[in-house]
Amino acid sequence: MSNIQLQSPMRPVPYSEELPVPDPFKQMALSDNDSNNEALLNASSEDIFRSTRGRASFKKISILIPDSWVLMCPPLHQMNIEEAKSATWSNADLIISQRKHSLHGSKPWTLQTMGCGHQGDYISIGYETLLQNDTKMNGRLLAHSWIKYRYGVFDEVGIDGSTSYPPYHRNIRGEWVTNACTNSPLRPHPLCNSSDVVCGLIKESPTGMEGVTGSFMAYPQIESTFELCDEGTHNPSSPTPHNLICGAKSVWEVLRASQDFQNNRNVEGLSRPENIEFTYIRPKRPKMVLLVENTNVMNVQKRWDFMRKAVRKFVNYDVPDGFEIGLVVFASSASRKYPLKSLSSDGTRENLGSSLPRNPSREDKHRRCILCGLEESIKVLEAEGSTEGSHIVLVLAGSGRLGEEETQRIKELILKTKVILHIIIYPLTEKFPQLRGSGMEEIGSASGGVVYAVPDEGIGSDSKIIMYYNLLDALYHILNAAAGENALPVKIYSEEHKGGFPHSKGSFWIDEGLGLDTVFEVFYYDLAHVGDSIHLINPNSQVIDTANMQNEDDNMNMISIHLKKNQEAYGLWHYELENRADSHQSLFVQVTSRPQVQSDKNLQVRAWTNHNTNQVNLTDKTNPLIIFTEIRSGMEPIKEAKVTAILLKLGTKPNGTAHSPIHVPLHDNGLLNPDINEGDGVYSRYLFGLPLGKYSVTVQVEGQFDGSKYTRYVKLSMIEIIGESSKNDVIAPPRITNLRATVLPSTDGQVSFAWTATGDDYDYGQAKVYKVLVNHDLRLLRDGIGIELEDWPRPLPSHSIQQHTITWKSYDELFYLALSAIDSSGNVGPLSNVVEIFLPSPSMPESTEISPHNFQEEEYNVNVLETSTPETFNSRHMIVVFGCLVGFLVLLFLFAIFYCSYSGKNKRTDKEEEENGTVNVSVKVANKTSNMLQENELQQKSEKQDYLKPITSWSPSELLGSYTDKRRSISEQSDINTEYSDSTKKQYGDSFDPLNRYNLNNSLPYDPNYDQSCAMVNKGYKPSETYLQEENEFPNPQESYSTHPFPHFDNSQPDSFSESCDILPVSQGPPGYPISPMLYECSSPDGSKIPPPIPPKPNIPHKHEAYIYEEDISGRNSSNGSVSSDRRVRNVTMV
């Protein structure tokens, strides 16, 4: 099996003396090899071997140890610690964390962002686990996490307190069972209601735990489990994370598709796992060669001058101590300008920074030999040892094209030497950059490097300062990728101030995770463009005099101001400077600050895409572009951040103007489109519809952490969009993954459904209609076979919360329901997650209920019989008795005739319904709140309405088809003023009016049994405030938002308020994916938390009208007032 790198959370700056080894890590380092560390891994390997039927286990494990450990822990001196080749902190499989995770504690857990069948990102384990003596159990938990990480499978058990993955669900008989894949059912918890999602799972079988052998992915903490569910033991109906994400496949179905088991690899047969070969390694000293093209392309304007200044700035200020840097230039041949040297002194830095020739070559670009330059760079690296894991930064003047022979030789050279090739296209001179240009971009990306482009911008004989700054920015991000986390200062602010304006102002945040060596820098084209005064105002509104703090370096066109330790303060800073730049030039302001490695508030941000190369082929619809961003502090995920991907197409428009940037918000909502887990600190989004071309990508991160506001920027590798996009809409709406169904208490079979609306294409836009299916057979339903329910609301814009309530009349039967979205082009999205609907029969009283009047009469008669007797039984009494008897017999005879006639009719009707697969469902269509009449008006007007005679056996299609020309449905009429029903238009932000939400007013009482104790967190919104909802955010370059006001409170309500989340009692949970009051936080529409369902509106006394005839509509809406808001109940037998 592949190697594992165990990573310490300490990621020190090389040669830093300020980062001692923490005591717990020192204890780990001093422990014996065969205890704790290695014993845990051996135990884990045995559990993996047993669970995979002897087909997988650990073979080699590399443990990566920080240099500071080796220097400060004498026992490590005796160990044979080798230098790592390609292992780095960033590519570790297993990370040892210093701090506990808020959810997992110090136990192992896996980060998975790519879905079913894809390897995860990493495993994290707290150091406290390695110090414990419970090696056997901790080994099982680590093996469980490794199987998830390696093979892309997920937990096969519900989660206590989860509404998406409840701990219990109903089986086909309607009985509550544990939501898990097990070979022996576990008994429900005896102390709480199984319908309550906070009712925890009990890890005990009715027959004893000895018989529970699976599933290991459900209960690794039960020592008897070791099997993984296969097709014979898997339960596809359980609403577990694995079933939802992997499409109800068993774990073994996913494992067999892994490369580990393809082509008869790792077949069963071994009796025990092989011994693990442990290797202790230390980080490799980063080695890097700058390879710069020197042709006549550089001999234009200030291109070469900017190149020399950028190399000097890079070497003298950016590269940390301990890096080994060399320099090579090339044209038709290559020339070594500086050998590989460790940068540990100012003299070495100055010599290397001045090594580029003062004047560029006049050799024609078409004669350049990239292969020659790469071969010379590799010789420089080989002079100091192995080339594996070393870096080459290739600066190419324009893209151009390579011959097939040269391209192939370069590929073979990179693969053989295992170097990491980074590419900077400087300058990018093409107005319309060629796709699949030189081929070097693809080679660089495949090697693990990044690709950046610096567009050519100049006027007359001058190049614009933006070229210089973009070149510096590209070098900084390449260095950051090579050095790893915390090795470089964090770039927290960057802003261009165009010339022509006398004063430039701005502000930036310094959060509590930073604050070491904070530097304020100004980059200019000419020193005269910067005025004498630069004012800095700290968060305490104190003005810092920078006159004696400014460090000018005209060799790098830079003024830097280093804040002293006593001047560094957390919070919002402001600055103002005098801008004397020409109108075609600019000043660039940049702020960097080093992280406080030991701080609990030190943030790490990384961003990546799902494509290993920089090319995205539009022809391949199965692999659209996804951008990911992870934000964490230590291993703790950072939630509720504002993360935006900014894409800028390189080159110019046909009219010569620059392209506008495209802003795409990323989400951490766990809706699987594409985000896997909500709240894991990973934000992601599909990107589609991009025109062909090359794009630079920057991710901007903003938010608050422990009360401190932060900002971060991450620059991704250049993306190239190739292929051909379809002229037709072939992208279906995505799958709905959080559909939930809840039986509302104290109602006559009211079932409320809630879900998050998907978009038209992925999660953008708005779908057209929903298709809702219900069936007794789950397998048929998954195949798209079932009874289709009508009158469901139209889809809302993506990320909106939708709810719908219907009356369900089928009792003691388990039904499965799912829905899919259909777009305007007829593309049908995948079927949603399946919810279960089960209504037990209403409980019957032990004795017949009678009216109070009859009860009094009965009591009176009893008393009479007990206290008195009749005096005589005369003829008058006999006549009365005889008459009553005759009347009773006549009534009995008439009832018998009626019963026989009615029974025959019902038998025929039942037979027809059975043949047609009828499900007795009554659908209620919500009325409009804005048109609701007062209760007394409704009572008066309802008496004047006409009614249809009840029809008990017509299907919806027959019923609707018979009156197509004569009437409108209640749903249609109620939508005269707007196209959505009231229940459909419910969209919730952080606060809303509970009265308007349920269409109630003070005169309409609501069920007093609803517990109002679970109030959502008051976020201080006032009734007049609005929330933002994304709309046409992409691919429209100018993303627009529409505002929707919060519902207003009455004047009696306070300005700030909270609302109860506890619509349902605690005992109410699933039948399907239930809504639990204890879990809601009433989050905003673009979050993933679903608010509680809308309970049915109070029954207003009136006579029900199934339909309103066409000829009555005009009159009812004019002279007699609006009756379109009356409650309409359509008693329809759904087919």
State mean pLDDT over 884-889: 76
Nearest to 433 by CA among 610, 659, 609: 659
Q: Quick one: pLDDT at residue 262? A: 83
Boundaries of every domain in the chain: 5-153+260-282, 154-245, 286-484, 489-594, 603-722
Give the 3-state secondary structure of residue 867. helix
Beta bridge pairs of residue 1036: none
Question: Would you say residue 525 has pLDDT above 90?
Answer: yes
CB 82 within 8 A of CB 297: no
The CATH class given to the 286-484 domain equals: alpha beta
Q: What is the DSSP letter of 367?
A: G
Question: Would you say residue 259 has pLDDT above 80?
Answer: yes
Q: What is the DSSP letter of 843?
A: P
Residue 1035 identity: P
Residue 391 pLDDT level (bands cut at 50, 70, 90): very high
CATH no. of 603-722: 2.60.40.10
Comparing 1034 with 454, the larger pLDDT belongs to 454
Question: Would you say residue 1053 has pLDDT above 80?
Answer: no
Least confident of 156-160, 597-601, 1027-1031: 1027-1031
pLDDT in tens, 53-68: 999 999 888 888 877 6
Two tokens, residue 676: 């896997």
Residue 1127 pLDDT level (bands cut at 50, 70, 90): very low
State mean pLDDT over 33-52: 83
CATH no. of 489-594: 2.60.120.380
Residue located via tokens 């904070």: 518
Comparing 1086 with 721, the larger pLDDT belongs to 721
Comparing 460 with 872, the larger pLDDT belongs to 460
Gap between the Cα atoms of 571 and 43, Å rounded: 48
Residue 877 pLDDT level (bands cut at 50, 70, 90): low
Judge if the upstream peptide bond of residue 624 is cis by omega within 30 degrees of 0: no
State mean pLDDT over 261-289: 83
Residue 1002 pLDDT level (bands cut at 50, 70, 90): very low
pLDDT in tens, 194-210: 777 777 766 555 445 66
Q: Quick one: pLDDT at residue 1082? A: 37
Q: What is the DSSP letter of 563?
A: P
pLDDT cut 90: percent of the chain above it = 47
State mean pLDDT over 396-402: 81
pLDDT cut 70: percent of the chain above it = 69
Q: Quick one: pLDDT at residue 72? A: 59
CA distances 239 to 49, 166, 170, 247, 737, Å, are 28, 7, 10, 11, 11
Comparing 848 with 871, the larger pLDDT belongs to 871
State mean pLDDT over 295-324: 94
Alpha helices in 67-224 (DSSP H): 67-72, 127-131, 135-151
Residue 881 pLDDT level (bands cut at 50, 70, 90): low
Cα angle 786, 244, 617; round to 5: 100
Give the 3-state secondary structure of residue 141. helix
Question: E strand or H helix at 878, and its extent?
Answer: helix 875-916
Give the 3-state secondary structure of residue 641. coil
State mean pLDDT over 835-855: 57
Give the 3-state secondary structure of residue 222. coil
Question: Would you say residue 2 has pLDDT above 70?
Answer: no
Two tokens, residue 663: 């802003």
Question: Would you say residue 36 has pLDDT above 80?
Answer: no
State mean pLDDT over 928-943: 36
Gap between the Cα atoms of 575 and 466, Å rounded: 21
**pTM confidence score:** 0.75
Residue 873 pLDDT level (bands cut at 50, 70, 90): very low
Q: What is the DSSP letter of 97?
A: E
Q: Quick one: pLDDT at residue 76? A: 63
pLDDT in tens, 754-788: 999 999 999 999 999 999 999 999 989 999 999 99
Question: Would you say residue 552 has pLDDT above 90?
Answer: yes
Gap between the Cα atoms of 460 and 332, Å rounded: 29
pLDDT in tens, 439-466: 899 999 999 999 999 999 998 889 999 9
Length of the chain in terms of residues written: 1135
Comparing 147 with 439, the larger pLDDT belongs to 147
Q: Quick one: pLDDT at residue 922? A: 43
Alpha carbon of residue 640 to chain centroid: 11
Residue 13 pLDDT level (bands cut at 50, 70, 90): very low
Beta-strand (E) ranges in 188-297? 277-282, 287-293
Question: Would you say residue 1119 has pLDDT above 50?
Answer: no
Gap between the Cα atoms of 1069 and 893, Å rounded: 49
State mean pLDDT over 883-902: 74
Least confident of 466-470, 813-817, 881-885, 888-892: 881-885
Gap between the Cα atoms of 669 and 680, Å rounded: 9
Q: Quick one: pLDDT at residue 875? A: 56
Question: Would you say residue 621 has pLDDT above 90?
Answer: no
Gap between the Cα atoms of 199 and 189, Å rounded: 7
Comparing 854 with 665, the larger pLDDT belongs to 665
Taking only Cα atoms into account, the Rg of the chain, rounded to an integer number of angstroms, comes to 36
Q: What are residue 632's phi and psi, to 5 degrees?
A: -150, 160
Least confident of 70-79, 313-322, 328-337: 70-79
pLDDT in tens, 709-724: 999 999 999 999 998 8
Q: Quick one: pLDDT at residue 22? A: 39
Comparing 958 with 413, the larger pLDDT belongs to 413
Q: Quick one: pLDDT at residue 891? A: 79
Q: Quick one: pLDDT at residue 596? A: 82
Contacts of 376 (CB under 8 A, 6+ apart): 291, 328, 330, 334, 335, 336
Q: Quick one: pLDDT at residue 210? A: 64
Q: Quick one: pLDDT at residue 128? A: 87
Q: Quick one: pLDDT at residue 539? A: 95
Q: Quick one: pLDDT at residue 132? A: 84
Gap between the Cα atoms of 916 and 958, Å rounded: 13
Q: Quick one: pLDDT at residue 1079? A: 35
Beta bridge pairs of residue 576: 505, 535
Residue 73 pLDDT level (bands cut at 50, 70, 90): low
